[in-house]
Structure 1
Amino acid sequence: MRIVSIRSYLVFVCFAIISLWLLFYFVGVGRVQNLSRAGLSDVKEKLKVKEKIMKTSFSWQLTNLVHDNQVLLEKLKVGILQHKNILLDKMRSEVSAQNALEAKQISLDQEILAPHPTLIKTTSTLKTEPPDIQENVAEKIQNVKDDNDEFMIPIMITACNRPSVSRCLDKLFSVRGSQVDNFPIIVSQDCGDKATADVLNGYGDKITFVKHDPEPVPQGVKSNLVGYYKIASHYKFAINQAFHHFPSADSIIILEDDIEIAPDFLSYFKEMHELMKKDQTLWCASAWNDNGKTSQVDATEKGAELLYRTDFFPGLGWLLKRSLWEEELVSKWPQAFWDDWMREPEQRKGRSCIRPEVSRTSTFGRKGVSAGQFFDTHLKYIKLNEFPVDWSTKDLSYLVKDNYDKSFKDKVYNLPLFRISDLKENKDPDSREVRIEYTMSHTFKAFAKELGLMSDFKKGVPRTAYMGIVTTIFRGRRVYLAPPVDWTGYVESWS
């Protein structure tokens, strides 16, 4: 009985131990699973964070790599450009030295061989190079001369508070094409307008950009005239800057920020530059016709080629010689109204300008210092040339004073003499060119208004006049408004 009790006790103890073990086992397994799930979640989160860090690090490294490559590329570009310039300079030096040596050798050969023409002939047959390699010395010298006969005419633009200066510049770039070195552009800004400065800065090294600090306006100047003082001061600064930045240029083209140009604008001024070097009676060339409204000019392809001498300074796109500026104008430049000052006899000194039948410039700037004077009634109607002319192919020798004056005067005074009423009545329609005569300032003004011309005088000179003669188109007929044939000169009091 006791043995049975002991066995039962042992069985109970064993059962209890097994039960406790099983209980602890299952509880432990559950905790392990929970911990595994939690750990797995933590691991995933850590992996996500690590992946983001790696991606960010990679992106940052890639960005740095791209930036470093860009910097390296820019450095390589700069290095290549510098190396190119060094090579070009070296080549120019070698070519110059070679040309000088060959020229010297040619001179020595000619000096030595001149008394012996037969020897020259014999010597020329001793060349051993093939014919295609043998160089014609005269042709080579001419080619070197042509290569060195480059020109530079900087374009100086005055600007103030018109962001629309971009319209002027963009047209210039379009017309200029590849002639970047021949027509460099410098823009001078007055008045410090930020919007305009931002536009100009946006062109980078495509232009030379300078800024003018306005000089004080003299005391007592009326408020409506202050702008004219600022403009004169700015012009003096800008012209000086243009010649300073381009010391090899002997002329500059002067424009304003509200000017649009015709396609043959630069071709025109290149040939005007050459013409002015030949004829010292010319002191400027202009792209502007003051009486150039559509109805007053021959706007055909033939009319696009017509040029005239004029005693009236036109402006609005004009060529200024360095010698004229430095030797005459800069030392006595006026405080205000510089363009009217240019029209005074003391500055003109009997010299003339060249101007076209059809303008190569037009203005889109209604708002300005003159408060739109003449813009709505006149300036906006000026015809801009639509028929580009290759001026390099034209013989312009007829514009030289010795050739022009007699021919022009003979032509005008041999035309039939008409009255204004004759024109209005279309008298003698076969006479396609006629003359109207004026004798006094009031008769000129009356006739000019009838013909649609500007009727004002500047120091006695009518706009576009040459030898007192103004030409226009009236109802399809060429009309010359002219003084009597014995005209002796302009009368300043007519102003």
Structure 2
Amino acid sequence: MVKMVRWSGSLVRCLLLLVAIAFIYTQVRLFTAQSQYADKIAAAVEGENYCTSQMRLLIDQVSMQKETVVGLEEKVKRQAEECEQLRTLVQNLQRKGVKSLFQQVQVPVAAVVIMACNRADYLDRTIKSILKYHGNVASRFPVFVSQDGSNSDVRTKALSYDQLTYMQHLDFEPVHTERPGELIAYYKIARHYKWALDQLFYKHNFNRVIILEDDMEISPDFFDYFEAGADLLDKDKSIMAISSWNDNGQKQFVHDPYTLYRSDFFPGLGWMLSKSTWDELSPKWPKAYWDDWLRLQENHRGRQFIRPEVCRTYNFGEHGSSLGQFFDQYLKPIRLNDLPIDWKSMNLTYLIKDEFVKHFSGLVKSANPLYGTDLVLKINNIDGDVRIQYRDQQHFEEIAGQFGIFEEWKDGIPRTAYKGVVVFRYKTKRRIYLVGPDSLEQLGIQND
């Protein structure tokens, strides 16, 4: 019995030992399996990360290749347009004959450039107006059309005229405006002007250039007027440019087509400058708003501009970059001179700097002073010219508003002003002089 018990205990211990060994073996196998599974998971994660990085690298390479392709496509597009430009110029030269561009008996007075972009109908009207009076002076005033961009209608229209030379400005540089909300067009216009004037002064070597826009008609005496103006530019270096425009040139404010003035305000809209002036302006030409830039004292430096009483250009551009600003009120009513005046026979020495001060001060001094309010009503009771003194810009704007002339100032100068004096006709040939607070002193007139 005792032996049986002992044998049973030994058997139990053996069984427990076997179970323990089996359990340990199972745990070892399980641990080994888990380790192998963990290694496989780690390897799988590593493989996935590698695939992801390779995918990203591939995507980056594809993006770079795409950008390269886009860049190449843009380059091809530019080259195609440049090739088209060259083909056009070659055709232009072939049709006109290269010799005709250089076989000029006379040294030109000035090149005439029409600044165009995308208004073929306007350009056609402008060209026809110029050619109407151009025949007898073609050798003295060679005509160019400078197009900004690649509008095919404008290019075709310009090339359809044998009497002019076509230039094309292709500008692919992006435009960055300096202030939010600005129109890009004003920046592109400034770039075009600089390019065109550089071409005419430095490549074609003209001494003077007359700048027109593609929405202008000219007067019968346009070319004679600028030929006389060229002589003034040469004689008097205090004259910065000759203009064909009067901002207050509306029909109700002008009378005498023979009258010219000096002005401290740059008029624009059909003007001529010399190469020496462009040598100064070209290196610092502005990014935008070139006309207002020329009206700054730091740029005109006290030099003045010759302007007519009656305009020699008419601006019909109701639709354009300025979005028709002021068109109905100020541009549409402009009077364009219709008389063929012989400017060569006229004595214009009164426009020379020192002579004009004396000439103009005499006119202002002889005008009847007028004071108080209701100025328009009071003028009707006065015979002859009238002068009205304004205190400051606000006072000037009040008076100008009563008569309907331009109220705008730029850099402290009213439009058309000479030494602060704005002159215009009113209803008859009577002159009205709006006189600044120190204008009489500048003119050497004792205030009475």
Question: TM-score, normalised on structure 1?
Answer: 0.66
Q: Shift of residue 243 of structure 1? A: 1.8
Q: Shift of residue 82 of structure 1? A: 10
RMSD (Å), alpha carbons? 2.5
Indicate yes or no: 2:192 matched with 1:234. Answer: yes
Name the aligned partner's letter for residue 434 of structure 1. V
Alignment match, 1:217: 175
Q: Shift of residue 200 of structure 1? A: 1.0
Q: Shift of residue 407 of structure 1? A: 2.5
Q: What do the CA deviations read for 1:82-140 (whole angstroms, capped 9, x no partner)?
A: 99999x99xxxxxxxxxxxxxxxxxxxxxxxxxxxxxxxxxxxxxxxxxxxxxxxxxxx
Alignment match, 1:187: 145
Q: Measured at CA, do residues 158 and 82 of structure 1 come closer, stay the same or move farther in structure 2, by a change above 3 Å? A: closer
Q: What do the CA deviations read for 1:121-174 (whole angstroms, capped 9, x no partner)?
A: xxxxxxxxxxxxxxxxxxxxxxxxxxx874431101110011120111111111
Q: Shift of residue 245 of structure 1? A: 4.5
Name the aligned partner's letter for residue 323 of structure 2. A
Choose the corresponding residue for 2:319, options 351, 358, 367.
367
Q: 8 Å contact 2:115–2:147 — kept in the other structure?
A: yes
Q: 8 Å contact 2:266–2:294 — kept in the other structure?
A: yes
Alignment match, 1:340: 292
Choose the corresponding residue for 2:431, options 465, 473, 478.
478
Alignment match, 2:245: 288
C-alpha separation in 1, matches of 2:301 and 2:438? 23
Alignment match, 1:161: 118
C-alpha separation in 2, matches of 1:449 and 1:456? 10
405-414 vs 441-450, which moves further: 405-414
Name the aligned partner's letter for residue 198 of structure 1. T
C-alpha separation in 2, matches of 1:467 and 1:409? 10
Alignment match, 1:305: 258
Classify the secondary structure of the residue corresponding to 1:271: helix
C-alpha separation in 2, matches of 1:85 and 1:473? 44
Q: Shift of residue 277 of structure 1? A: 0.4
Alignment match, 1:197: 155
Q: Measured at CA, do residues 407 and 211 of structure 1 come closer, stay the same or move farther in structure 2, by a change above 3 Å? A: same
Classify the secondary structure of the residue corresponding to 1:377: helix
Q: 8 Å contact 2:177–2:184 — kept in the other structure?
A: no
C-alpha separation in 2, matches of 1:432 and 1:84? 54
214-223 vs 166-175, which moves further: 214-223
Alignment match, 1:416: 368
Name the aligned partner's letter for residue 151 of structure 2. D
Superposed, which structure 2 residues align to 1:84-483 within 5 Å?
150-164=107-121, 165-203=123-161, 205-214=162-171, 215-218=173-176, 222=180, 224-247=182-205, 249-298=206-255, 303-326=256-279, 328-419=280-371, 421-429=374-382, 431-476=383-428, 477-483=430-436
Alignment match, 1:31: none
Q: 8 Å contact 1:231–1:336 — kept in the other structure?
A: yes
Superposed, which structure 2 residues align to 1:10-29 within 5 Å?
none
Percent pairwise identity: 40
Name the aligned partner's letter for residue 160 of structure 1. C
Q: Shift of residue 484 of structure 1? A: 3.6
C-alpha separation in 2, matches of 1:168 and 1:389? 21
Classify the secondary structure of the residue corresponding to 2:374: helix
Classify the secondary structure of the residue corresponding to 2:201: helix
Q: Measured at CA, do residues 382 and 427 of structure 1 come closer, stay the same or move farther in structure 2, by a change above 3 Å? A: closer
Q: 8 Å contact 1:154–1:246 — kept in the other structure?
A: no
Q: Measured at CA, do residues 162 and 417 of structure 1 come closer, stay the same or move farther in structure 2, by a change above 3 Å? A: same
C-alpha separation in 1, matches of 2:439 and 2:203? 48
C-alpha separation in 2, matches of 1:149 and 1:161? 34
Q: Which runs of 5+ in 2 are unaligned?
A: 1-93, 443-448
Q: How many residues align?
A: 343
Q: Shift of residue 179 of structure 1? A: 1.9
Q: Measured at CA, do residues 219 and 268 of structure 1 come closer, stay the same or move farther in structure 2, by a change above 3 Å? A: closer
C-alpha separation in 2, matches of 1:383 and 1:83? 40
Q: What do the CA deviations read for 1:50-80 (whole angstroms, capped 9, x no partner)?
A: xxxxxxxxxxxxxxxxxxxxxxxxxxxx9xx
Q: Shift of residue 192 of structure 1? A: 1.7
Q: Shift of residue 412 of structure 1? A: 0.5
**Considering only CA atoms, is the larger Rg found in Structure 1 or Structure 2?**
1
Q: Shift of residue 304 of structure 1? A: 0.7
Name the aligned partner's letter for residue 180 of structure 1. A
Q: Shift of residue 425 of structure 1? A: 3.9
Q: 8 Å contact 2:245–2:312 — kept in the other structure?
A: yes
C-alpha separation in 2, matches of 1:84 and 1:256? 25
Q: Measured at CA, do residues 384 and 283 of structure 1 come closer, stay the same or move farther in structure 2, by a change above 3 Å? A: same
Name the aligned partner's letter for residue 244 of structure 2. A
Name the aligned partner's letter for residue 221 of structure 2. D
Q: Measured at CA, do residues 187 and 425 of structure 1 come closer, stay the same or move farther in structure 2, by a change above 3 Å? A: same
Classify the secondary structure of the residue corresponding to 1:378: helix
Q: Shift of residue 225 of structure 1? A: 1.7
C-alpha separation in 2, matches of 1:207 and 1:379? 27
Name the aligned partner's letter for residue 330 of structure 1. S
Name the aligned partner's letter for residue 397 of structure 2. K
Q: What do the CA deviations read for 1:425-453 (whole angstroms, capped 9, x no partner)?
A: 44544x22110110111110000111111
Q: 8 Å contact 1:291–1:454 — kept in the other structure?
A: yes
Q: Measured at CA, do residues 221 and 483 of structure 1 come closer, stay the same or move farther in structure 2, by a change above 3 Å? A: closer
Q: Which runs of 5+ in 1 are unaligned?
A: 1-77, 90-147, 490-495
Alignment match, 2:25: none
Q: Measured at CA, do residues 334 and 85 of structure 1 come closer, stay the same or move farther in structure 2, by a change above 3 Å? A: closer
Classify the secondary structure of the residue corresponding to 1:155: strand
Q: 8 Å contact 1:461–1:468 — kept in the other structure?
A: yes
Classify the secondary structure of the residue corresponding to 1:178: helix
Q: 8 Å contact 2:106–2:140 — kept in the other structure?
A: no
C-alpha separation in 1, matches of 2:380 and 2:170? 59
Alignment match, 1:141: none
Q: Measured at CA, do residues 390 and 439 of structure 1 come closer, stay the same or move farther in structure 2, by a change above 3 Å? A: same
Question: TM-score, normalised on structure 2?
Answer: 0.72
Q: 8 Å contact 2:147–2:169 — kept in the other structure?
A: yes
Q: Shift of residue 414 of structure 1? A: 3.5
Classify the secondary structure of the residue corresponding to 1:392: helix
